[in-house]
A and B are shown apart, each in its own frame.
Chain A
Amino acid sequence: MSYRVLIVDDSAVVRHMVRRALSISGIDVDPVFEAGNGREALSVLRGNWIDIVFVDINMPVMSGAELVEVMARDGMLTATPVVIVSSEHSEKRVQELKQLGARAFLIKPFRPEAIRQVFSEVLHPGKESHNA
């Protein structure tokens, strides 16, 4: 089974990093959509089924936090899991974004094993990742 993934970041390098990490981790993802900010992401989300969204926090036009808020209020998107991909380490920030609806965090830089672990925890909660 292939997972349909959306990567949201204003940095092409980070979008590429997440895409490569997914590929290296052996997770079957297809297609992988990309968006440069929250508004572009909403457009993708409203036109396509997405299994999981990887989102940066600081982006122009619409931030990751704003995107998470909008998705939480939208009945069609509220169940779509969101993973925050950020360089921010603040515990307070993590708690704020979890309250808004984010399901997990990946702190940059991260290894492919970390993305595999998060993928497993978010999409298959309760199951251990044998490769983590």
Chain B
Amino acid sequence: MPNTPTRERLGSLVAELLVSAAFVFAEIAEEKPWAAGGLLNARLTLTHGAEFELALCVPGGLAPELAANLLALEPDSAEAKANASDAVGELANMLAGILAVEIFGRDVVCKIGVPRVACETAADHDSHFGRVSCRVSLQTEEGYRVDAALAGIPPESGGAS
């Protein structure tokens, strides 16, 4: 049976990933309003019998910093900005690998989908995020909000859109 993580566990895994991969310190926090500007939301599926959709959402202002830290670049560099979207997708991919073991166990091969990264408004994100039971918000040291959500996909829906 799949083992869906608690909010605290999901938040802990996201925080560990952010610090180990991108040197960004974050803690679980209340869901506060987003700062002005767009969001980057990376989604991918995890499948082993049951299917889940993982979403990792960060503010557009944080994404170049994540790319810069992943790639050892200057945050203001054109290269960091160019790789911002891909960096968020890659962090979601790393998180999916960690969650696959958490949900399905270490002894099974879980199919992890290719990350799809899209720009979203805060309103669009919040309307979807608020409906997911396994979700967590974190706040970075610099005050950026980072959201992660793990939603079960009903078999009849035919997968994520």
> Which residues of B are found within 8 Å of A109, using beta-carbon distances?
17, 20-21, 70, 94
Known: A12-B86, A16-B71. A92 touches B112 (CB 8 A): no
Report the Cα distance A107→B114, complex, angstroms.
17
Q: Contacting B96 at CB < 8 Å: which of A87, A92, A96?
A: A87
B90 on interface, CB distance cutoff 8 Å: yes
A51 on the interface (CB 8 Å rule)?
Answer: no
What residue in chain A is nearest B17 (Cβ atoms)? Answer: A109
Most buried by B among A10, A24, A90, A91: A90
Is A76's CB within 8 Å of the partner chain B?
no
Q: Does B139 contact A (CB under 8 A)?
A: no
Chain B residues positioned under 8 Å from A86 (CB to CB): 97
Distance to closest chain B CB from A14 (angstroms): 6
Which of B83, B100, B109 has the most A CB atoms < 10 Å from its CB?
Answer: B109
Say yes or no: B97 contacts A13, CB within 8 Å. Answer: no
Interface size class of A (residues with CB under 8 A): 20 to 34
Q: B41 at the A/B interface (Cβ < 8 Å)? A: no
What is the interface size of chain B, counting residues whose CB is below 8 A from a CB of the partner? 28
Instruction: Name B101's contact: one of A17, A24, A58, A90 (CB within 8 Å).
Output: A90
Nearest chain A CB to B60 CB, angstrom units: 17
Q: Is A31 at the interface (CB under 8 A from chain B)? A: no
29 of the cross-chain contacts (CB-CB < 8 Å) are A10-B114, A11-B86, A11-B93, A13-B70, A13-B83, A13-B86, A13-B89, A13-B90, A14-B90, A16-B71, A17-B70, A17-B71, A20-B71, A24-B72, A58-B114, A87-B97, A87-B98, A87-B112, A88-B97, A88-B100, A89-B101, A90-B108, A90-B109, A91-B106, A92-B109, A93-B109, A107-B97, A108-B90, A108-B93
Q: Which residues of A contact B (CB under 8 A)?
A: 10-14, 16-17, 20, 24, 58, 60, 86-93, 96, 107-109
Measuring CB to CB, which residues of chain B are less than 8 angstroms from any residue of chain A?
17, 20-21, 67, 70-72, 83, 86-87, 89-90, 93-98, 100-101, 106-110, 112-114
